[in-house]
Chains A and B, each alone.
Chain A
Amino acid sequence: MRSPENVEKLIKNAEMHSDPETNQAVLKDLMDQFDKTQEQEPAVMQPSIGRTIMKSPITKLAAAAVIIAAVLIGVSQFGGSATGVAWGEVIGKLEASRGLICRSTMTISNRPGEEDYRMIYGCPTHTRTDQYEADRVTGSLYCDYNARTMVRIDHDDKRYFRHTISEQMAQGHRDEISPKVWVQKLLSCECRKLGQKTIEGILCEGLETTDPAFFGDSGPPVDSSMVQLWVSVETGYPVLFEGNAVLEGDDGGRIEVVLDQFQWDVELDASEFEPKIPPDYELAD
């Protein structure tokens, strides 16, 4: 006789498979639809055409024919002037943003990179940075600014480090990886307007500075530098941040930094900032 718990388990675990060939055929059909929506950007509403891959080719052609021509959209103007970004409001927007995700890529000439890029996740009380190499997370750094703890996980060596940090260190780390602080610095420098351009389908307006004050006293000494910030005209949020600097000295290399793939004002669950340490990892001193 089955108990209620047993029935619940059965519902959860009863096995089902999907046919691999049909999986690929359906995926191909969906990819075709994906391509069509990309061609017709912005995405247009299309009547539900059913699982056309299972049906006749004529139906597929007919379905393709009903895709309507792209709709031209005007630029939304909230949060800015009639034609562009209200730069004075950008910092306010970033401060009000609950959570942030972005990608950071840094290259230094003459030095082989140990990582391809980092994904940064942040909220007012925590940050997490995942280091990627060949699309694999090789290391993670978790910071809890309230508890003032920092946990670093090194996946290659299966080790992790746990540190208590001072308030000053916590603030320093937060500033170092915070795009908000970078934007603040840029806006406080002497800038020139770059006009508008479309980046990944988003109409943006840019600012550029070559002011050495951007790096200030805390950064590395540089011979020259250039930093550009591109902000969405529609949302007022940064879309792309690019910077490069030639380091001072004879062997001064060139550093390039790109912050992109921004997601602003996202709700990030607290559990995303709890260090996930596999059980076979060792605590290192």
Chain B
Amino acid sequence: MLEDRLLVWKFKRGGKDAFCRIYEKYRDDLLRLAISLLSESEAAEDVVHDVFASFIRNAGQFRLTGSLRGYLATCVANRARNANRAYRRRHGSRSDETPPTASNAARPDRWIICSDELKRLNDALAKLPYEQRETVILRAQLGMKFGRIAKSQGIPIKTAQSRYRIGLDKLRSQLNSEATK
């Protein structure tokens, strides 16, 4: 996207307007990605805030080589993965256990407002092992290529494809069984 290249160029030279535009343009996509990965609103909001804050701090070193959306989404995925690991360490839980899903009404200063449909989807996603969930979301929500997902997770492409297939099957079963209840 040429617009993104211009925005990044201006942002790196101290353009506040350019940063505002980047924030407005990608904020909701990143929040949606983070809440799907982490299920828990406050953690997801912190991840997105920290990604933007880090983007600002490292502006001097940043060089756009692919899409800006892809870069920011990868940053969110990396931080969400770390947040998930930290949660598991703190709570001694297994890799397929995730923080409980927060409702919209949980906090007065909520940033993310999920539709009922997204809440149901996130509940089902939260039951997948984290690696499968991440693969399914990066592929289906962001349209990320398997090669890039594999690279970001440090796994072969075939493993990423199989994680996606299995994860999607499990998710479908979850959603179908919910629907028949």
Contact = CB atoms under 8 A, between A and B. Distances in A.
B168 A200 contact: no
Given A50-B50, A51-B46, A10 B59 contact: no
A38 B136 CA distance: 39
A34 interface: yes
Interface string A8-50: 1011101111110011001101110110011001111110111
Interface stretch (B89-97, B151-159, B169-177): B169-177
A86 to B, nearest CB: 23
A261 interface: yes
Interface in B123-181: 136-137, 140-141, 168-169, 171-172, 175-176, 179
B115 A16 contact: yes
Mostly, the B contact residues are: helix
Interface residues of A, number: 49
Interface residues of B, number: 53
Interface string B90-122: 000000000000000000011111110110010
A8 to B, nearest CB: 5
B137 A22 contact: no
A240 interface: no
Contacts of A50: 46, 49-50
Nearest to A99: B5
B35 A16 contact: yes
A270 interface: no
B20 A27 contact: yes
Interface of A: 1-4, 7-8, 10-12, 14-19, 22-23, 26-27, 29-31, 33-34, 37-38, 41-46, 48-51, 53-54, 101, 119, 121, 200-201, 261, 263, 266-268, 272
18 contacts: A2-B176, A2-B179, A4-B172, A8-B168, A14-B121, A16-B31, A17-B112, A18-B28, A30-B53, A30-B56, A31-B19, A34-B56, A43-B58, A46-B57, A48-B54, A50-B46, A121-B2, A201-B14
